[in-house]
């Protein structure tokens, strides 16, 4: 048997235009292989082995900088962002792609500062790897100020003009989600209580306009933020309409009751909460990569009909339910117009996809569904490579958008790991 990766004896490859052949006819005087004295040296076997691609390996695409997506005007800063521990570099890379080189810096575990905030053309801050962000005022490091004022007093003085101008406000006092900062949670809680007491004593009319954080979802107002980290106390504010979310500290923990088949159910429930819409009873959902059934279970619990597409087996208690049909085949072969087991003759209401597969191929599949108009709404979970994640996310969004999906957004949600959630609509 021929050893893997070794060419057959006597076999040569045709030379591509402008490139020497890799067969026996290669010239020893190939450009770039001259010695310091100007004499060409013979190619050594180890040189050839280093350059030869593995048998069957796909040709590498030339690296091109990703096209910058359409964006709205950036919001002036500085802005401070929290992110998942370990994703600081991904967020800084994403901000650099959106705002230009040098736009962001890592300031501590799970913390990144930028000179502005990128926005979508339709409005709202648009970032994938950030959990929470706010306009930072009074940057940490003013030793004289900290020595003169207690933390709560300093926060009150910095926030006073913004509180006075806001129609209503809510407080979010938190620590970054890191091993170093989590023990500081009691300290930031005490500073928050001190701030509330100072507002009540010195500006009672402002204190009366305070609301709960979740109440800002449907109201105009601001969130004032106290972020206590090992780097110091970070103070700032953000308009409710500009906030990435209203979960305390950006930690959107989701609890799903019942006997859920897998952790995946929490990811999907959080995705619906972020998207702002979820399946209604009776709607038809196609679940690509469904096994063992975490997403299908949640869709059934919401009263939807589910087409679960996966060559692997589903849980028997799910396949026994009348509202689920299991198509035991590859998601890349399934065509809804032809294979819909419910025979509705109509597009699916939802396309849901959580496949452990190469992200570029999954994005191309989602784009194919978009071009065919085979679903109205999309929520997908895409696995990411270990490096250059922000660049990959930009490529994935572009591919999906080329399929006709609109308002394509991505976010690394609280329950995501080395992956991102993508949503869009037709």
Would you name the residues annotated as active-site residues? 383
Cβ–Cβ under 8 Å, residues 327 and 308 = yes
Give the CA distances from residue 243 to residues 40, 127, 188, 383, in Å, rounded to whole numbers and listed in that order.
63, 11, 21, 26
Whole-number Å distance between alpha carbons of 354 and 381: 5
Whole-number Å distance between alpha carbons of 80 and 112: 6
Whole-number Å distance between alpha carbons of 51 and 19: 14
Q: Parallel, antiparallel, or unpaired: how do β-strands 305-309 and 284-288 relate?
A: parallel
Strand arrangement, sheet containing 72-83: 104-108, 111-119, 72-83, 130-137, 232-239, 222-229, 169-174
Cβ–Cβ under 8 Å, residues 389 and 90 = yes
Contacts of 244 (CB under 8 A, 6+ apart): 125, 127, 130, 131, 132, 133, 250
Q: Which residue has the tokens 């926005």?
A: 119
Residue 18, burial from CB neighbour count under 10 angstroms (0-12, 13-18, 19+):
exposed
Whole-number Å distance between alpha carbons of 310 and 296: 11
- The string of DSSP codes covering 363-421 is HHHHHHHHHHT-EEEEEEEEE--SS-HHHHHHHHHHHHHHTT-EEEEEE--TT-SSEEE
Copy the structure tokens of residue 342: 């419910």
In 230-277, DSSP assigns E strands to 232-239
Give the CA distances from residue 163 to residues 13, 205, 207, 238, 298, in Å, rounded to whole numbers and listed in that order.
72, 10, 9, 11, 41
DSSP 8-state symbol, 7? P
Whole-number Å distance between alpha carbons of 297 and 196: 43
């Amino acid at each position: 048997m021929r050893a893997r990766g070794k060419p057959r004896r006597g076999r040569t490859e045709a030379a591509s235009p402008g490139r020497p052949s890799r067969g026996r006819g290669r010239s020893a005087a190939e450009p770039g292989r001259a010695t310091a004295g100007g004499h060409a040296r013979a190619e050594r076997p180890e040189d050839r082995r280093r350059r030869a691609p593995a048998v069957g390996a796909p040709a590498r695409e030339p690296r091109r900088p990703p096209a910058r997506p359409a964006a709205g005007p950036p919001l002036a800063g500085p802005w401070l962002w929290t992110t998942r521990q370990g994703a600081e570099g991904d967020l800084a890379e994403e901000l650099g792609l959106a705002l230009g080189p040098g736009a962001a810096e890592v300031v501590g575990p799970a913390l990144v500062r930028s000179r502005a905030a990128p926005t979508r053309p339709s409005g709202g801050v648009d970032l994938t790897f950030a959990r929470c962000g706010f306009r930072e005022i009074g940057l940490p490091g003013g030793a004289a100020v900290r020595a003169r004022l207690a933390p709560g007093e300093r926060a009150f003085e910095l926030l006073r003009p913004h509180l006075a101008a806001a129609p209503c406000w809510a407080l979010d006092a938190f620590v970054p989600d890191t091993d170093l900062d989590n023990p500081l949670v009691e300290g930031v809680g005490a500073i928050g209580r001190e701030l509330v007491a100072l507002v009540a004593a010195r500006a009672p009319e402002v204190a009366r306009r305070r609301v709960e954080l979740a109440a800002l979802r449907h109201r105009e107002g601001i969130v004032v933020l106290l972020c206590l980290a090992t780097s110091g106390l970070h103070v700032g504010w953000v308009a409710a309409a500009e906030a990435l979310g209203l979960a305390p500290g950006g930690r959107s923990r989701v609890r799903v009751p019942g006997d859920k088949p897998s952790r995946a159910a929490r990811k999907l429930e959080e995705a619906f909460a972020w998207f702002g819409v979820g399946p209604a009873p009776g709607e038809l959902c196609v679940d690509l990569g469904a096994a063992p059934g975490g997403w299908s279970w949640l869709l059934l619990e919401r009263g939807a009909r589910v087409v679960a597409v996966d060559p692997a087996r589903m849980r028997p208690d799910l396949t026994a339910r009348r509202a689920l049909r299991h198509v035991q085949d590859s998601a890349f072969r399934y065509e809804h117009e032809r294979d819909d087991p419910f025979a509705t003759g109509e597009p699916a209401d939802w396309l849901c996809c959580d496949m452990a597969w190469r992200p570029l191929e999954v994005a191309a599949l989602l784009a194919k569904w978009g071009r065919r108009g085979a679903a109205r709404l999309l929520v997908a979970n895409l696995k990411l490579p270990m490096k250059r994640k922000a660049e990959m996310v930009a490529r994935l969004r572009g591919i999906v958008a080329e399929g006709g999906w609109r308002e394509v957004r991505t976010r690394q949600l609280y329950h995501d790991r080395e992956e991102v959630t993508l949503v869009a609509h037709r």
